[in-house]
Amino acid sequence: MYKAPNIKSDAGIIRELKDLPGRVAVLTMEIPWAVLQEQCPWEPDSVQMVTDMDLETLERLESSLPPCDVVVGMGGGSCCDTAKYIAWKRGCRMVLVPSIVSVDAPLTNMIAVRVDKTVKYVGDIFPEELLIDYDLIRRAPAALNRAGACDIASIHTALYDWRLGHENNGETYDAAVAALAADCLNELDANAEEVFNVSPKGIDTIIDLYRREVKFCTEVGSSRPEEGAEHIVAYNIEHLTRRHFLHGDLVGFGIHAMSMLQDNRAEWATGLIRRCGLRFDVPDAARNELRGALASLKEFKNRAGLFYSVVDCKEVTPDFIDAVMIGLE
Ligand SMILES: [Zn+2]
């Protein structure tokens, strides 16, 4: 069942943490923890540094962590997900304090864990209390914070594919939810400059759009409204290279390429990405790796049994790949 989060945002709001009642366990990383100590020294009952998201690590942590009334996850996606795991297992109160807005982990109910180096989703806990501290978040590199907007911008290509799946493949389509998703895309468009500047308004925009997206995706029971062929591109790059990338970088490239394949206001979509300051040339991948991911898109999609999209009805030709790559310049 979806639960709406209570979100408090302000500069310096992390100081409120020290007033939390009961036994508090903090799951964090060196940098956000140092920032908090700088602003207001605080000694909670337990402080644990998050190292990795292996399921084994989480299980060990959960069994060794002393009893607590509140668990605080302060940091990036791993810290939030680790806190979600502990609070889910123990059924205790949870407060999340993201130090970066590059992923939607602070808003979703699922927990991304690694089993044999593969991401698996476990758990079911909707974050109900969030503290958004502009000062803390603005310490993270701007490019990483902006990257969070990619999973909102992906609505552009995802909605096209969802409709296509409905028309060509008999999938359930909810026009009211699609309209809610389109509203989010428009809101991002209207606030692109704030996102670019990682201003308080830009940070609030990303968090609020994640909140809305998680809500309607939960209600419709799938991530169709925000996950289309651009995500297939992202998954294939990771599959082919066996490397891990900043999710937003891959999705940005996917939006650029798939809006072209869809013939779906591609210039506008790439323009939106540029105006938000998002990267879409995947700086951590070689050009031939990106070309390879496009060339093998259909084969990858079929083998992985992924959802219906533009990849099923349009051919990715060498000329198309050239045009996509030229568009990166
Ligand atoms: Zn995504």
**Residue at 121 is within a domain:** yes
Question: Which parts of the chain have pLDDT scores under 50?
Answer: none
| Shared-domain flag, residues 252 and 292 | yes
Distance CA 36, CA 254 (A): 37
Ligand 1 centroid – CA 213 distance (Å): 11
Ligand 1 centroid – CA 227 distance (Å): 7
Ligand 1 centroid – CA 43 distance (Å): 36
Ligand 1 centroid – CA 237 distance (Å): 13
User: Tell me, what CATH number does 56's domain have?
Assistant: 3.40.50.1970
| Shared-domain flag, residues 230 and 321 | yes
Outline where DSSP puts E strands in the chain: 6-10, 24-28, 46-49, 70-75, 93-98, 111-115, 118-122, 129-133
Decide: residue 116, CB within 10 A, 0-12 exposed, 13-18 middle, 19+ buried: exposed
| Shared-domain flag, residues 202 and 284 | yes
pLDDT tens, residue by residue, 35-75: 999 998 999 999 999 999 999 999 999 999 999 999 999 99
pTM (2 decimals)? 0.94
Ligand 1 centroid – CA 34 distance (Å): 30
What is the extent of the structural domain holding 191? Answer: 144-326
**Residue at 174 is within a domain:** yes
**Residue at 318 is within a domain:** yes
Ligand 1 centroid – CA 108 distance (Å): 12
Q: Which residues pair with 121 in a beta bridge?
A: 112
**Residue at 310 is within a domain:** yes
Q: Show which of 123, 140, 157 is a domain's final residue.
A: 140
pLDDT score, position 46? 97
Q: Which residues surround ligand 1, an ion (CB under 5 A)?
A: 151
User: Tell me, what CATH number does 166's domain have?
Assistant: 1.20.1090.10
| Shared-domain flag, residues 83 and 196 | no
Domains of the chain: total: 2
Ligand 1 centroid – CA 205 distance (Å): 17
Q: Show which of 140, 157, 181 is a domain's final residue.
A: 140
**Residue at 95 is within a domain:** yes
| Shared-domain flag, residues 180 and 127 | no
Ligand 1 centroid – CA 248 distance (Å): 7
Ligand 1 centroid – CA 302 distance (Å): 20
Ligand 1 centroid – CA 148 distance (Å): 9
pLDDT score, position 42? 95
| Shared-domain flag, residues 193 and 320 | yes
| Shared-domain flag, residues 280 and 161 | yes
Distance CA 324, CA 321 (A): 5
Ligand 1 centroid – CA 268 distance (Å): 20
Ligand 1 centroid – CA 231 distance (Å): 6
Ligand 1 centroid – CA 252 distance (Å): 10
pLDDT score, position 119? 82
pLDDT score, position 307? 96
pLDDT score, position 244? 87
Ligand 1 centroid – CA 51 distance (Å): 23
**Residue at 63 is within a domain:** yes
Provide the 8-state DSSP code for 306. P
Q: Show which of 95, 125, 140 is a domain's final residue.
A: 140
Ligand 1 centroid – CA 23 distance (Å): 35
**Residue at 108 is within a domain:** yes
| Shared-domain flag, residues 158 and 105 | no
Residue 54 DSSP SS3: strand
| Shared-domain flag, residues 114 and 237 | no
Q: Which residues pair with 119 in a beta bridge?
A: 114
| Shared-domain flag, residues 128 and 148 | no
Ligand 1 centroid – CA 202 distance (Å): 19
pLDDT tens, residue by residue, 266-304: 999 999 999 999 999 999 999 999 999 999 999 999 999
CA atoms lying within 13 Å on the CB side of residue 170: 0
**Residue at 1 is within a domain:** no
Ligand 1 centroid – CA 247 distance (Å): 7
| Shared-domain flag, residues 120 and 242 | no
pLDDT score, position 116? 86
Ligand 1 centroid – CA 261 distance (Å): 19
Ligand 1 centroid – CA 150 distance (Å): 7
| Shared-domain flag, residues 158 and 276 | yes
